Structures are given as C-alpha cells and as structure tokens.
Amino acid sequence: MLKHNLGYPRIGNKRELKKACESYWTNNIDLNTLIKVGEKIRKENWILQKSSGLDLIQCNDFSFYDHVLDMSLLLGVIPDSYLEISIIKNHFDLYFSMARGFQKNEWDIKAMEMTKWFNTNYHYIVPEFKKDQKFYIYSNKIFNELEELKFLLKDIEKVKPILIGPITYLFLGKEKDKFFNRIDLIDNILPTYIEIINKLKNRGIYWIQLDEPILSLDLSEKYKSIFQYAYNKLSEKCSGISILLATYFDGISENISVLKNIKIKAIHIDLVEDINQLDIVIDFVIKSDITLSLGIVDGKNIWKNDYYKSIKIIEKTIKSIGEDNVMLAPSCSLLHVPIDVENEINIHTDIKNRIAFAKQKINELNDLEKIVKGNKKILSENYFLMKKIKNKSSSYNEKIKEISDKKENLKRKNVFKYRQEKQKIKFNLPIFPTTTIGSFPQTKEIRSIRNKFRNKKISKKNYIKKIQEFIVNVINIQEDIGLDVLVHGEFERTDMVEYFSDKLNGIVPTDNGWVQSYGSRCVRPPIIYGDVSRKGDMTIEWMTFAKSKTNKFIKGMLTGPVTILQWSFVRNDQPVHETAFQIAWAIREEVLSLENSGIRIIQIDEPALREGLPLKKKNWKKYFNWSIKAFHISSSGVKDDTQIHTHMCYSQFNDILKYIADLDADVITIETYRSGMDLLKAFSEFSYPNEIGPGVYDIHSPRIPTVKEIFELIKKATLLIPIKNIWINPDCGLKTRNWDEVLKSLKNMTKAAKLARKNTYN
C-alpha cells in the first residue's frame, strides 16, 4: 500500500518564499539568493515527507509563483509580448513579468489574467493560446528538481514528478485569437507532453502523476472523446512509465467511461468530496486491473482524520482489489492547508487537538497504514477524540432552525418595486448616484497602527482616536469629491473575514495558518470550530461615528455569511448550511443594530458566493438553496426604506443570474469595467429588476480612468438598464490603491456622473 502526496505547500514554514520573492522584485536580493531560498524549501519539504513515511516523494509541486504558469513555461506557451521584452535576461524575470506585468523604460506590458483554481481560493495564471500555438520544452525546472530529489533520495523509483495533464491544461487556458477552440490544439500539445515524459523516463523515473481534475466536472462529449484519444496516445508513446492519473475536488462517476481501455497504472480519486463514487470506481479498477489511490485525508480542510471511518473505506477497498493495488493519499494537493499545527501558539488546546495541517496530514497516512497493519492503540485514541467532538454540538442549531424557517424571517416585508419608491423618497438621491465599495487606501501608517494595537503597543483609547482621524479624513475627502453615498473606509479591518471572525463566538484566527492565495499573496483563514454567534456590536461604533461627521448618507459595511464561511476552515461535524445559518443570524443582528443606530444603507458583501458554487451543475440548486437563504436571513429583517446593497467582484454572472435576482438586494454592485459593460447585457436580457452599480473603473490597475471613458460607459449602461436603477461606482474596494490614484479616479468618476445627469435631463 504505497503512501504518496499530491503536493505540499511551497510558501515555506515561515513564508520564506513570499519574503524572498518580494525582496527580489524590489531588487533587495539577487536572483541567486532567491533560487537558494527555493532550493531550501524544496529540500525541507522532501526530507520532512520522507521522514514522515511517504513511499513516493513528489517533485515539481514547488513553484515560485504558480504551478499553472510553470506548466506554460515548460510547454513554451509564452505570449510574444513578453518574449519581445529585450531587456529581460533570464527565465525568472520572464516568468515574473507574465505573472505581474512589466513596467520599465519604454516597456509597459500588463500581467496575464488570473482566475480561481476550481472551487478554491487559489488563483492561477490563465494560459493564452494562439490559433497556431506551437509547443516546445522551454523551461528545465522539472528536470532540475528531479535531479535535486534524485540526489537526495538516492532511489529514483520513489520519485514521482507531477504535471498538469494535457486536457486540464488546455481547458484552463483561453483562446487569444478568434475562430478556434483550444481543445483542438491537442495534436500540437501531445508531442511535447510525450517528449517531456520520455525525457523523465530516461532519467530513470518509474512513476509520473498527471493531474486531470477536469474529470470531476460536467464534461462535454467533445472533451470526453478527446480525453480518450489523448491518453491512448500518451500511453502508447510513453511505454515503460507508470501514469498515475489524479482527479480531485469532486467525484468522477459520470466520467468513468472515458477511462475505459486507457492504459494507466493508477487512478486517484477524492473521497472527501465524494464517497459515493467508490463502488463505481472499484468496479472499474477491477475490470481494468489498475491501482486505486484513495484520497482519504482532507486536503482542503484542517480537521483531524476520522480513522475509524477511513479504515472502513480502506478495508473495503483492500477486500475488493487487494492490498497491493491500493494507494493512500490526501484528497488533493495540500497546497490549500497551512503547514504545521506546531506553529500555532494561541489556539486553545481543545481546538489544537482537533486539527491537522499539511505536516500532520502526512503523518495521518502513516497512522492509517499502521492501523491496517493491526495497531489498535492509534485507532482507539482517535476514536475517543472523534467521539468527544461529536458530543459537542449543542441545541443552538434548533433555535436557529426554528427562527430561520419562519417565512417572515426570510423575506423583506414588501416587494422591491414598493421598497424602491419608499427608498427614493427617503434618500432623495440624484439619478446616477455615486458611491464606492467600502475600503479606501490602506497606507503603511494605518497598518502600523493596527499592528501596534494588536501587539498592545498603543492603548485602545489612542487606537480608536487614530482610526477616527482616518474616518474623518476620508469623509471630508468624499464630500469634497462630491460622492453621494459615503463609506467609513474600513481602516479598522486587516481583512474582511478576519475582522468579523474576531467578533464572533465559535471562530478563532490562527497565528501562522498561512495559505497561498496567488503568487506571494497568502491568506490566513480563521477556523470555525463551534456554534457561531455575535458577541456584541461589531461595526456600530465606527459607523455611528462616521455618521456623526456628515450630513450625507453613510453606507454600513458587512461581510456576508457565505463569504465568511467560504474564506474560513469550516467545522465538519455538522452540515455547512447549518453553520451558514448561524453566521447569517449573527449578521442579521448586526444589520438590525445598524438600522437602529440610524444607518439606513447597509452593504452585505458576498464576493465569495460564486466561488462556493459546486463544480457539477446538478449540485447547484442545493447550494443556492442554502446560500440564498443565508443571505435572506442576514438581510431581510429591515424596514422597507432601509436599503440593502450587496457586492460581488467577478464577471461571470450569465449562468447564475436567476439566483442573483433571488437574493433580492436593493442594489448590487459588480465588476464590469474590464468587459466594457458587456456583462450588463446579461442583466438586461434577464430584465434584472433591482438596482445595479456596474463598476466604471478597474481598481486592479494603477491607471486613472478619464472622464470621457467613464461617461461613455455610463451611456452604454443606460442603453441596457433603466436609468432609475443605475448606480455609479468603482469595480471593487480601493484598499490596494494609493491615494493619488484614488483621488484622481474618483474625481473623474463624479464628473462623469454629473455630465451624464446633465445629458439625460437635456
């Protein structure tokens, strides 16, 4: 029973990679130093995994920025604009310019697009394909890492390089030219894959892992047939090497027929996401005489494995196919969990005893093997721990269920049309009202003050005074610019989830639970370990202070229940919807408290609503049932003339508009700048009934939008949605921009709105 891993976190135990990359980008260390940091992290990871008992050790799971971008470099998929930068002298700078853009001398090349990796909060760089895309081995990274690992292990049979499989790689990209489909590039790409695999084989490799997570999506017939075609060819041309096909993030039952007659050595499945696929897959592997890798330790969440449950699955599989044909692994790459529980100092031991990060998860595989071999002690210790956890749930859910099942707790008192009339009278805003999404630039000074307060270096009183100064300042600025609905700027928040988790029972932050989000950016998701409830007011103090400083309307800022849930590690001892409803109820209490304090415009941000969407369409309905209900619980308690806003910052709405409309927010603000309002067409065709603030400037870029271009965008919007429903705002919050950019951009935005008003009146 071989134990193996699908990928280990690469940021380093103390986020060394982040620090090294950022220092390299700002010219504070040289390339050699950066390379050395990479080597050190890889070596540490390998040694650790080996000493934790893994039988196969993977390579090429390390990355300086993103493993999809690594694939693009390996396959020579590099847009010309980057290759043309003549002052770039090495692969590293080329690689980083693709990831981050390049601005120097006469060069000003944008970064490549980035998007979410399936349903996780990891982001990858989207490969760009031309119609006649050529593929060739460009980067030697994988071969170099292989040599390093070979040298370390002295046993090549234990080395398992990982590649993203050809079908998933093509699927993840986008066409740069019109009139072709990237999947038709299959005959161009396969020879390069074959060459790479054979080169690895010639270096003595026995195993290779090809990741094809798209097997857990709804695949079109075309993709299915090309999958079969490609893998037949691969196995034919790469004989003598054992392909482990890795699938994860959902089950593959629906696509299992695709694998028929394909010569692979092993298939990996994610049993954490879908246990129901097991029988079908066992049946398949028996017939095709291949090895089954059981993804049994949760690669996306941090709870300790329930050994009793796992052992039942493992034993059942062994019984069907024999121990030699079973492999053990985490469900997916451990990229999505923090590195080591031992780095946590402040988490209560009760919780600490219940969690496993990457390092501990590798040990869990070892434990499971020992149990299979007869170790009863490990099993019984784990059994009692699990029992203790399960006994912990309270009657709180009953209460939440009771109140959240009441219709009147789920619906606004009146329909939107009626509310809109009342709100128009109450707020008396001009047409094309202007507002922002909430945050304003987070300067070094603000960060340092928050840090000092956290480390008890300034008193609470002084901290409050300081934040209040920032609020007064941002209110004055917004009044000067002439915005209609003001915000308080979110200066007290490091992060929109962490801030709230700190103010809720049942959630704890971690000290060092960093997870890579993209490139050098890491996030620290809090842990939802118990029943969530509001400790007390969470935002009222800041909001009422802001309100007292202006005669204009202040928009209260809250993070929605689905986003809090999605960007945390969620307890797994009850269904997620129950946790979602608990959070929703806490947010509802805050909404009502804001309303009571005279804040009559309240935004509930749900930027993660789409990310939580299941990979398979058949599961969407269930997801939306609870996620929309959670939003309703949060938002529906207010009066008709209290205005609920929500915000979502991505641009794929077409297939979920029906559900977005069901949320029934009075106003939704969205990201539309980059698509030049094209996205609004979907809202128009759908006759989306409520108010919309389509983003009129891209906050991800330092560029200042001109009055003219914003005005044109507004004009475009008026052709698609009724004027009375249009708001004017940026794409998203302004926290990552600097003040100079923000001031100029917002001034142009309000000028454009004024111009639009004038033009409409005439």
Q: What share of the chain is helix, strand, coil (3-state, %, to 5)?
A: 50, 15, 35
Please report, for residues 153, 205, 451, 693, 756, the alpha-carbon distance to residue 240 in angstroms, rounded to integers and kept in the order given: 21, 9, 57, 58, 68
Which CB atom, from 578 or from 606, has the smaller least distance to ligand GLN?
A: 606
Which CB atom, from 331 or from 646, has the smaller least distance to Zn ion?
A: 646
Instruction: Give yes or no for residue 732 binding Zn ion (CB under 5 A).
Output: yes
Looking at 20, 183, 196, 437, which residue binds ligand GLN (CB under 6 A)? 437
Q: Is residue 98 within 8 Å of 69, Cβ to Cβ?
A: yes
By CB under 6 A, what part of segment 546-605 binds ligand GLN? 557, 605
**Structure-block tokens of residue 62:** 């390390």
Which x/- pattern, by CB under 6 A, does the window 663-682 give for ligand GLN? --------------------
Residue nearest to Zn ion (CB): 649
Give residue 46's identity as a one-letter amino acid code.
W
Q: Is residue 488 within 8 Å of 507, Cβ to Cβ?
A: no
Report the catalytic residues. Answer: 700
CA 368 to chain centre: 30
Which CB atom, from 63 or from 442, has the smaller least distance to Zn ion?
A: 442
Least distance from Zn ion to the Cβ atom of residue 491, Å: 17
> Using CB atoms within 10 A of its CB, is residue 610 exposed (0-12), middle (13-18) or buried (19+)?
buried
**Structure-block tokens of residue 492:** 């007290």
d(CA 554, CA 545): 10
Which is it for strands 527-534 and 326-330: parallel, antiparallel or unpaired? unpaired
Q: Which segment (329-337, 447-455, 523-531, 732-740) binds ligand GLN by CB under 6 A?
A: 732-740
Which x/- pattern, by CB under 5 A, does the window 638-657 give for Zn ion? -----------x--------
Which CB atom, from 525 or from 607, has the smaller least distance to Zn ion?
A: 607
Considering only the C-alpha atoms of the chain, give the largest distance between any 2 of them, rounded to a whole number of Å: 85
- As beta bridge partners, residue 246 has 211, 268
Least distance from ligand GLN to the Cβ atom of residue 18, Å: 20
d(CA 148, CA 158): 13
Which CB atom, from 13 or from 559, has the smaller least distance to ligand GLN?
A: 559
Looking at 439, 468, 593, 748, which residue binds ligand GLN (CB under 6 A)? 439
Question: Nearest CA to 155 among 301, 55, 40, 38?
Answer: 55
Count the site residues for ligand GLN by CB under 6 A: 13
Least distance from ligand GLN to the Cβ atom of residue 557, Å: 5
Question: Nearest CA to 527 among 399, 284, 393, 352?
Answer: 352
Q: Which among ligand GLN, Zn ion, none contacts residue 735 (Cβ within 5 to 8 A by kind)? A: ligand GLN
DSSP track, 607-652: TTTTTTS-SSGGGHHHHHHHHHHHHHHHHTTS-TTSEEEEEE--S-
- Residue given tokens 């026995």 in the structure block: 206
Q: Which segment (311-319, 638-646, 676-684, 729-737) binds ligand GLN by CB under 6 A?
A: 729-737
**Structure-block tokens of residue 457:** 């270096």
Q: Which among ligand GLN, Zn ion, none contacts residue 439 (Cβ within 5 to 8 A by kind)? A: ligand GLN
Q: Which among ligand GLN, Zn ion, none contacts residue 45 (Cβ within 5 to 8 A by kind)? A: none
User: Looking at residue 331, what DSSP letter applies?
Assistant: S
Least distance from ligand GLN to the Cβ atom of residue 519, Å: 17
Which is it for strands 485-486 and 553-559: parallel, antiparallel or unpaired? parallel
Which x/- pattern, by CB under 6 A, does the window 188-217 give for ligand GLN? ------------------------------
Count the site residues for Zn ion by CB under 5 A: 3
Instruction: Give yes or no for residue 733 binding ligand GLN (CB under 6 A).
Output: yes
Q: Which among ligand GLN, Zn ion, none contacts residue 645 (Cβ within 5 to 8 A by kind)? A: none
Instruction: Give yes or no for residue 607 binding ligand GLN (CB under 6 A).
Output: yes
By CB under 5 A, what part of segment 606-635 binds Zn ion? 607
Q: Is residue 317 within 8 Å of 326, Cβ to Cβ?
A: yes
Rg (CA), the chain: 27
**Structure-block tokens of residue 687:** 């006759």
Which CB atom, from 234 or from 732, has the smaller least distance to Zn ion?
A: 732
The kind and range of the H/E element at 99 are: helix 91-100
Q: Which segment (263-271, 318-326, 436-444, 652-660) binds ligand GLN by CB under 6 A?
A: 436-444
Looking at 438, 513, 637, 705, which residue binds ligand GLN (CB under 6 A)? 438
- Interior CA angle at 619 toward 614 and 625, to 5°? 95
List the beta strands (DSSP E) in 399-526. 485-486, 504-508, 515-518, 521-523
Least distance from Zn ion to the Cβ atom of residue 607, Å: 5
Instruction: Give yes or no for residue 496 binding ligand GLN (CB under 6 A).
Output: yes
Q: Which among ligand GLN, Zn ion, none contacts residue 606 (Cβ within 5 to 8 A by kind)? A: none
Instruction: Give yes or no for residue 162 binding Zn ion (CB under 5 A).
Output: no
Phi and psi at 141, nearest 5°, equal: -50, -55
d(CA 730, CA 745): 9
d(CA 27, CA 42): 23
Least distance from Zn ion to the Cβ atom of residue 723, Å: 24
Which CB atom, from 277 or from 539, has the smaller least distance to ligand GLN?
A: 539
Question: Nearest CA to 11 among 295, 334, 246, 248?
Answer: 334
Looking at 649, 679, 696, 717, which residue binds ligand GLN (CB under 6 A)? 649
Instruction: Give yes or no for residue 735 binding ligand GLN (CB under 6 A).
Output: yes
Which CB atom, from 327 or from 538, has the smaller least distance to ligand GLN?
A: 538
d(CA 718, CA 266): 56
Q: Which segment (195-203, 408-416, 730-738, 747-755) binds ligand GLN by CB under 6 A?
A: 730-738
By CB under 6 A, what part of segment 32-51 binds ligand GLN? none
Least distance from Zn ion to the Cβ atom of residue 557, Å: 12
Helix (H, G, I), strand (E, B) or coil at 186: helix
Least distance from ligand GLN to the Cβ atom of residue 567, Å: 10
Least distance from ligand GLN to the Cβ atom of residue 493, Å: 8
> Under the rule (CB under 6 A), what is the footprint of ligand GLN?
437-439, 490, 496, 557, 605, 607, 647, 649, 732-733, 735
> Under the rule (CB under 5 A), what is the footprint of Zn ion?
607, 649, 732
